[in-house]
Structure 1
Amino acid sequence: MAPAKEGSTLAAPAGYTAVPVKFSEERRTHHYLYIKEHKVREDLDQTRPQNRTLFVLNVPPYCTKESLSQIFTSCSPVESVELQDKPGPSETQSNSVSKHFSLRHLKGFKVAYVVFKHPSGVQAFKSFKVKKPIVLSGIGHSIKTGINKWIDNYRASLTDVAELQAEVDEFMKGYDERVAEEKAKQEEGVPDEEGWVKVTRKGRRPGLARTEAVNIRVTEREKRKRAQKELLNFYAWQHRESKREHLAELRKKFEEDKQKIALMRAQRKFRPY
């Protein structure tokens, strides 16, 4: 969205509140943040409580989490700020975050979810009035740009070998525990979801009896296998019969052609003129 000039006003979309912000005090243009209370039909994301969360649109590229926290702290203490490319479920909750393998830098305009520590923060924002654009980069909360920002991004991209090894060891430790737990279940004779118990060299261990529902599923699966086998056998028999008929027709045609050739040779006469 194009920046607005100093002193101009812009109508916010329905349900949103427009809050003007600009990068520094020297800038003559500013952007608008469009903010509303975060509400969804099903409250499944525990990291975004509906009574304590604000949804923010049109966040400019230079705006950071610290900048947004600085803006809304005047209403109430902020618990967390999350930036994303587009609205959707929490990326930190849906994907396992790794410091070394999930590096991602957001570019362009973004959306944000601001969570207050107390429900009063949302109500305080509704009565929040802004007379002039809020300066994001100033004394005490400067935003790095240009070569300073590039240097920080480069330093953040460097991998600490010790931290990487510790993360890999922690992952492998959890993996080994899951494998050992699965192996222990098999050795103890714990039935799987279909009611079967794996038989090892040590012999079958006593397990739980299969339920009636499991028996019904196993019987239906065996019936389907038998029906499919009978169908395949039928098609194989039909294919063999068609090959026999085709060979019989070829032999019959071959005999007819031999008789025609013999008859033509018998009727052939010498005609010099």
Structure 2
Amino acid sequence: MVARRRKRGPRGSRESLPSPPGYSAIPVKFSEKQLASHYLYVREHRVREGTQSVWPQKHTLFVLNVPPYCTEECLSRLLAPCGNIKSVELQKKPDLAEGSREPKSKFFHPKPVPGFQVAYVVFQKPSGVSAALTLKGPLLVSTDSHPMKSGVHKWISDYEESVFDPEALRVEVDTFMEAYDQKIAEEETKAKEEEGVPDEEGWVKVTRRGRRPVLPRTEAASLRVLEREKRKRARKELLNFYAWQHRETKMEHLAQLRKKFEEDKQRIELMRAQRKFRPY
């Protein structure tokens, strides 16, 4: 955020607030009672030549320093006098990589941490962007006709919005799964069409579909596998069913290890006695 410094003229008159290069400043107040103004910095959204952008050129206004209490609906109302607005989207930071973007979901995309954000405002006509660049203020966020919730009322509203509707969640999940199944089906169809067809360099793409299919099991083999799994499951269920059985098994195992250790020790002593050198 750019530091605000007000310069006074020779007679104490205040000059306009300096803006970042290429931006215009629009003063904003939360309500009429607020004395100090907050400033939005706006400019026309542009990208490098030859780069595709999800935001239409000459129709999009880029806004910096959007305060936390200013929502998308509020920003749309403040800029409505400039022209008809198609969409307003708030983001935590600007889009660095231009390209296709997935639609947002209120269920699976958590809300960003409250703080200063950036906004992309899309107007129906390019004249809306020009009018926004010359907009004068201060603009009021909370008015008598459009009051903004604050304090406990805002906390209650945020809590109510956090409780989702199960039916709406089900509809969105079904829509997502239908789109996902359609995408997988298209990929499989495309891979099947490209299978066995050499590319420009003569290479042939080999996939799992090109392998020899595995022969199904016979009924007798399936019955043997089921019987083997049944016996294994029965042994697991009967072995160490109680805790005291588990302790006794461990004690028996330790006793067997001690007995084997003593037997090995005696065997080693006997071998040493047989190898002893006796010249007389």
TM-score by length of 1: 0.62
Q: 2:22 aligns with which of 12, 15, 20?
A: 15
Shift of 1:58: 1.2
Q: Distance in 2 between matches of 1:187 and 1:16?
A: 53
Residues 4, 106 of structure 1: alpha-carbon distance in 2 compared, 3 angstrom cutoff: farther
Deviation of the 1:189 alpha carbon:
7.8
Secondary structure in structure 2 of the residue aligned to 1:121: helix
Work out whether residues 4 and 18 of structure 2, in 8 Å CA contact, stay in contact via their aligned partners in 1.
no
Structure 1: how far apart are the matches of 2:212 and 2:190?
12
Structure 1 position 44 matched with structure 2 position 52: yes
Distance in 2 of aligned mates of 1:55 and 1:180: 39
2:115 match: secondary structure? coil
Using the TM superposition, name which of 188-197 and 33-42 deviates more: 188-197
Say if 1:92 and 1:65 are closer, same or farther in 2 by CA, change over 3 A: farther
Instruction: Name the structure 1 match of 2:167.
Output: 162
Change (3 A) 1:182 1:74: closer
Pairs aligned (count): 199
| 1:134/1:90 CA distance change after superposition, 3 Å | farther
Specify whether residues 180 and 65 from structure 1 end up closer, same or farther in structure 2 by C-alpha distance, changes over 3 A only.
closer
RMSD between aligned residues:
3.3
Give the corresponding residue for 1:133. Answer: 138
Q: Secondary structure at the match of 1:54?
A: strand
- 1:167 is paired with a residue whose SS is helix
C-alpha change, 1:168 and 1:51, in structure 2 (3 Å) is same
Gap regions ≥5 residues in structure 1: 203-273
Residue of structure 2 equivalent to 1:195 = 204
Q: Residues 185 and 23 (structure 1 numbering): CA distance in 2 closer, same or farther, change over 3 Å?
A: closer
Q: Using a 3 Å threshold, how does the CA distance of structure 1 residues 143 and 181 change in structure 2: closer, same or farther? A: same
Conserved 8 A contact 1:45-1:89: no
Return the match for 2:149 from 126, 136, 144: 144
Q: CA deviation at 1:17?
A: 0.9
The reply to whether residue 100 of structure 1 matches residue 107 of structure 2 is: yes
After superposition, what is the alpha-carbon deviation per residue over 1:203-251, rounded to whole angstroms, capped at 9, x for unaligned?
A: xxxxxxxxxxxxxxxxxxxxxxxxxxxxxxxxxxxxxxxxxxxxxxxxx
Shift of residue 187 of structure 1? 6.6
Letter in 2 for 1:69: S
CA contact (8 A) 1:35 1:57 kept: yes
Spell out the pairing of 1:184-263 with structure 2 (5 A cutoff): 190-191=195-196, 195-196=204-205, 198-201=210-213
Q: Where in structure 2 are there 5+ consecutive unaligned residues?
A: 7-12, 215-280
d(CA) in 2 for partners of 1:107 and 1:121? 28
Look up the SS of the partner of 1:12 in the other structure: coil
Q: What's the CA shift for 1:114? A: 1.2
For residues 23 and 92 of structure 1, the distance between their equivalents in structure 2, rounded to whole angstroms, comes to 35
Cα pair distance change 1:25/1:45, threshold 3 Å: same
- What SS does structure 1 have at the residue aligned with 2:118? strand
Q: Which amino acid aligns with 1:167?
A: E
Inter-partner Cα distance in structure 1 for 2:173 and 2:118: 32
Contact 1:4/1:31 (8 A) holds in 2: no
Q: Which position in structure 2 is the counterpart of 1:53? A: 60
Matched letter for residue 195 of structure 1: V
CA contact (8 A) 1:187 1:200 kept: no
Distance 1:65 1:199, change over 3 A: same
Structure 1 residue 179 displacement after superposition: 4.3
SS of equivalent residue, structure 2 residue 160: helix
Q: Is the 8 A contact 1:21 1:134 kept in 2?
A: yes
Aligned-partner Cα distance in 2 for 1:135–1:178: 47
